[in-house]
């Protein structure tokens, strides 16, 4: 379990261990398009502290697991590098010589030197297997901005009253505002101190925007598809798999009409049970027909989809939740793209990775 330390405890720790026995590794920031954000924690929703220009040299103490970053210039990784002052950068943007050791259990959760840290409270997502949703407002009907996995460290700017939620930690109408302006229910946040009330003084500079309902969008924002379309080992696999968590919202990749909502499974099995590699079928799935003869398919949902055949959906609309029904050995979304549809079949399936990339919504 993560230890949350107060600034005072951090200060004592610094006094007790004035010299770190472990030498820091020097590495280089590779971020040619824009400066790299240095943050208070190991995720992009933690407070930004400063930026580092392309080519900067950084001194890294150790690494922690955090948010998966798949847009980096060096690698795709969920590892974040803790710098010698206790701040963090994603390892996706760092060129370095050798491996970096993992941070010990007593790693500080926020740098002590930053004055802003004294005004905020830290916490941890405690939501079990279903990710905690960060929304534009303090109610479960407010547009979804992000899904935060269990154990994700949080910076809690302030709290305000909203919809009453029964969670794992408490039953409460209070919602925590995160640094970028989104809200998470306090019912699912493990914390030792109570964040201050939200006032005019701690309002975000700009309200968070709901996801842009553009032409095409990632069906599982924040997660990365593995290349896997018709591989040598599995030539009949006509989609890509995006590993995720049970209960993560699946979004329509583009606007269209729901063509099918089906339980596709081998006789004698149920889509409402966790599947396995030895069960046939894509479980609970949705097929959406888009303009231009394009169809998309979303398999292995945890339960029947939220949408009905014939319903019009917008790009980015939540249509169901990740599960492992049917021929599936772990929670994931199997995603297919077909051209010249209907009908859909192996004959007109195309690799979703280049398709989504060229449509402005890379998923790989």
Whole-angstrom distance, CA of residue 31 vs CA of residue 52: 9
Rounded CA-CA distance 58/100 in Å is: 13
Q: Which residue lies nearer to Zn ion by CB, 37 or 274?
A: 274
Distance in angstroms (rounded) separating the CA atoms of residues 337 and 361: 13
Instruction: Please identify, using beta-carbon distances, which residue of 133 and 334 lies nearer to Zn ion.
Output: 334
- C-alpha to C-alpha distance for 20 and 273, rounded to whole angstroms: 50
Q: What is the spatial distance between Cα 347 and Cα 360, in angstroms, rounded to a whole number? A: 25
* Sign of the four-CA dihedral 121, 117, 39, 23: negative
- Rounded Cα gap, residues 57 and 65, in angstroms: 22
Q: Is 118 helix (H, G, I), strand (E, B) or coil?
A: helix
Task: CB nearer to Zn ion: give 79 or 225.
Answer: 225
Give the separation between CA 263 and CA 122, rounded to whole angstroms: 42
Closest contact distance (angstroms) between CB of 233 and Zn ion is 12
Region 309-348 residues binding Zn ion, contact defined as CB under 5 A: 334
* SS3 at position 236: coil
| Residue among 154 and 240 whose Cβ is closer to Zn ion | 240
Minimum gap (Å) between residue 282 Cβ and Zn ion: 8
- The answer to the question of residue 190 lying near Zn ion (CB under 5 A) is no
**CB-side neighbour CA atoms (13 Å) of 312:** 2
Count of residues of this chain found to bind Zn ion when the rule CB under 5 A is applied? 2
Residue selected from 81, 91, 186, 241 as contacting Zn ion according to rule CB under 5 A:
241
Give the shortest CB-149-to-Zn ion separation in angstroms.
Answer: 21
Distance CA 122, CA 142 (A): 23
Contact segment (CB under 5 A) with Zn ion among 93-101, 157-165, 238-246, 312-320 equals 238-246
- Does residue 251 interact with Zn ion by CB under 5 A? no
261-278 burial code (b ≥16 CB/10 A, e <16): bbbbbeeebebeebbeee
Minimum Å gap between C-beta 58 and Zn ion is: 38
Which residue's Cβ lies closest to Zn ion? Answer: 334
Query: What three-state secondary structure class fits 93?
Result: helix
Q: How far is the CB of 299 from Zn ion (least distance, A)?
A: 7
> Which one, 194 or 231, has the nearer CB to Zn ion?
231
Phi and psi of 312, rounded to 5°?
A: -85, 135
Q: How many residues make up the chain in this entry? A: 364
Q: State the minimum distance, in angstroms, from the CB of residue 326 to Zn ion.
A: 10
Instruction: Compute the least distance from the CB of residue 237 to Zn ion, in Å.
Output: 6
Q: In this complex, which beta carbon is closest to Zn ion, that of residue 186 or of residue 241?
A: 241
First and final C-alpha spacing in the chain? 32
Complex with Zn ion: residue 91 or 241, whichever CB lies closer: 241
Q: Least distance from C-beta 322 to Zn ion, angstroms?
A: 13
Name which of 288 and 349 has its Cβ closer to Zn ion: 349
**In which element (H, E) is residue 256 found?**
strand 256-264
Sole window of 81-89, 164-172, 239-247, 308-316 interacting with Zn ion (rule: CB under 5 A): 239-247
Footprint on this chain of Zn ion (rule: CB under 5 A): 241, 334
């Amino acid at each position: 379990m993560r230890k949350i330390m107060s600034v005072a405890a951090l200060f004592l720790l610094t006094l007790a261990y004035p010299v770190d026995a472990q030498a820091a590794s020097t590495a280089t920031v590779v971020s040619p398009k824009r400066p790299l954000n240095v943050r208070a924690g190991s995720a992009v929703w933690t407070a930004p502290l400063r930026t580092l220009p392309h080519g900067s040299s950084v001194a890294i103490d150790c690494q922690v697991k955090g948010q998966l970053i798949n847009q980096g210039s060096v690698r795709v990784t969920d590892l974040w590098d803790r710098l010698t002052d206790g701040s963090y950068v994603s390892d996706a943007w760092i060129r370095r010589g050798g491996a970096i050791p993992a941070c010990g259990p007593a790693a500080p959760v926020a740098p002590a030197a930053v004055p802003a840290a004294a005004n905020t409270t830290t916490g941890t997502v405690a939501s079990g297997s279903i990710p905690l949703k960060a929304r534009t407002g303090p109610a479960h009907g407010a547009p979804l901005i992000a899904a935060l996995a269990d154990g994700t460290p949080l910076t809690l700017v302030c709290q305000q009253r909203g919809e009453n939620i029964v969670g794992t930690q408490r039953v409460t109408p209070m919602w925590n505002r995160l640094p970028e302006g989104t809200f998470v229910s306090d019912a699912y946040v493990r914390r030792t101190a109570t964040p201050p009330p939200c006032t005019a003084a701690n309002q975000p500079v700009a309200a968070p925007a709901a996801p842009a309902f553009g032409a095409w969008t990632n069906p599982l924002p924040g997660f990365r598809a593995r290349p896997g379309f018709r591989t040598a080992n599995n030539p009949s696999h006509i989609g890509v798999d995006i590993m995720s968590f049970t209960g993560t919202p699946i979004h329509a990749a583009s606007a269209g009409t729901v063509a099918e909502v089906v339980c596709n499974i081998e006789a004698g099995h149920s889509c409402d049970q966790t599947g396995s590699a030895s069960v046939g079928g894509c479980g609970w799935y949705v097929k959406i027909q888009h303009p231009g003869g394009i169809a998309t398919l979303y398999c292995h949902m945890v339960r029947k989809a939220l949408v009905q055949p014939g319903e019009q959906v917008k790009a980015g609309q939540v249509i169901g939740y990740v599960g492992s029904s049917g021929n599936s050995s772990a929670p994931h979304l199997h995603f297919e793209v077909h051209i010249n549809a209907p009908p859909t079949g192996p004959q007109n399936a195309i690799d979703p990775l280049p398709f989504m990339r060229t449509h402005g919504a890379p998923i790989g």
